[in-house]
Amino acid sequence: KVCDNSGAKTVKCIKVLGGFNKKIAKLGDIIVVSVQKLRNKSKITSKVKKGEVYKALILRTKKKFKTKDGINIKFQDNSVCLITKQGKPVSTRIFGPIPKILKTGKFTKIASLSAGFI
């Protein structure tokens, strides 16, 4: 699922980046995706077309994710936000909560778009 306003609704993971044999991408990882469905309203106004390949950052997973504090966090859905090859977000808004881990480092730009941190 996509939780930003780039116009895509669901995406499909094509590749997990970060190593030659990496099979599983967790929260905070970047994956390569292809757009499957668009949000109905924005077929005309979306920045993204069906079938296009983008990179995506995983924002929320249903699978437990352990912080350095020792807290296990679990979200309600698996969500992603689209990124260009350079690492910049495609969208201008992100919906829903995001873990604090993404506040630092490479993803500050994305984190700044978000509504709330957990």
Selected from 76, 85, 86, 104, the binder of other proteins by CB under 8 A is: 76
CA dist., res. 97 & res. 118, Å (int): 6
Q: Is 51 in the site for other proteins (CB under 8 A)?
A: no
**Cβ–Cβ contacts within 10 Å for residue 111, how many?**
21
Q: Is 89 in the site for other proteins (CB under 8 A)?
A: no
Selected from 80, 96, 107, 111, the binder of other proteins by CB under 8 A is: 96
Q: In angstroms, what is the minimal distance from the CB of 21 to other proteins?
A: 30
Bridge pairing between strands 53-60 and 79-83: antiparallel
Q: Is 69 in the site for other proteins (CB under 8 A)?
A: yes
Query: CB-based contacts of 10: which residues, under 8 Å, 6+ apart?
Result: 1, 2, 36, 37
Which residues of this protein are in contact with other proteins, per CB under 8 A?
Answer: 60, 64, 69-77, 95-97, 115-116, 118
